[in-house]
Amino acid sequence: MLKGLQLLTQREKQVVELILKGYSNKKIANILYVSERTIKFHCSNIYAKCEVGNRNQLFSLLSPSVRIVV
């Protein structure tokens, strides 16, 4: 699970940081200048690598003490 964080690409780490701030896929897409579909693709990869099924599980996995270096 947490070892999955080590497998994340730089872009996936950026997406995780924005997810943890509570941003929607649409808002993340606007911030990163990509399509919402691209963000959904990144989210799918993030969930698979972290062995979670959704944002809520990702939030539970990543406590506030866990910081991702982007």
Q: Can you list the domains of the chain with their CATH numbers?
A: 3-61 (1.10.10.10)
Amino acid symbol at 24: S
Query: What is the predicted pLDDT for the residue at 3?
Result: 74
**Are 40 and 25 in contact, with CB atoms under 8 Å apart?**
yes
C-alpha dihedral, 22 to 57 to 37 to 42, nearest 10°: 100
| Overall average pLDDT of the 6-16 stretch | 95
Tens digit of each residue's pLDDT (9 = 90 or more) over 35-64: 999 999 999 999 999 999 999 999 888 866
Query: What is the predicted pLDDT for the residue at 53?
Result: 95
Interacting residues of 11 by C-beta distance below 8 A, sequence separation 6+: 32, 42
Task: Tell me the pTM.
Answer: 0.84
